Amino acid sequence: MRILIEDVNILIDDKIVENKNILIENDIIKQISDSKSFERIDYIIDGKNKIALPGLVNTHTHLAMTLFRGFADDLPLEEWLEEKIWPQEAKLTADDVYWGSLLGICEMIRGGTIAFSDMYFFMDEMAKAVAESGIKASLSVGMIGIAGDENETLNRGVSFAKNWHNAEDGRIRVMLGPHAPYTCPPSFLEKVIDKAIEMSLGIHTHLSETYLEVENIKNMYGLTPIRLMDRVGLFNVPVLAAHCVFVDDEEIEILSEKGVGVAHNPQSNLKLASGVAPVKKMLEKGVKVGLGTDGPASNNNLDMWEEIRLVATLHKGVERDPICVPARDALIMATKNGMEILGFENSGIIKEGYKADLILVDVNKPHFYPRHNLVSHLVYSASSSDVDTVIVDGRILMEKRELKTLDEEKIMYEAEKRAFELIKKS
User: Residues forming the annotated binding site for substrate?
Assistant: 89, 179, 209, 294
What phi and psi values does residue 155 have, to the nearest 5 degrees?
Answer: -65, -35
DSSP-based three-state secondary structure for 71: coil
Q: Which residues are annotated as a binding site for Zn(2+)?
A: 60, 62, 206, 294
Residue-wise DSSP of 76-120: -HHHIIIIIIHHHHTT--HHHHHHHHHHHHHHHHHTTEEEEEEEE
- 193 touches 233 (CB < 8 A): yes
What is the Cβ-side half-sphere exposure of residue 176, based on CA atoms within 13 angstroms?
Answer: 31
Q: Which residues are annotated as a binding site?
A: 60, 62, 89, 179, 206, 209, 294
What phi and psi values does residue 226 have, to the nearest 5 degrees?
Answer: -70, -40
Within 10 angstroms of residue 190's Cβ, the number of other Cβ atoms is: 13
- Measured in whole angstroms, the distance separating CA 404 from the mean position of its chain's CA atoms is 21
CA 291, CA 311: separation in Å to the nearest integer? 8
One-letter identity of residue 188: F
CA 209, CA 245: separation in Å to the nearest integer? 5
Nearest to 297 by CA among 133, 56, 74: 74
CA 298, CA 300: separation in Å to the nearest integer? 5
Query: Which H or E element spans position 134?
Result: none
CA angle 9, 11, 16 (to 5 degrees): 60
CA 34, CA 128: separation in Å to the nearest integer? 40
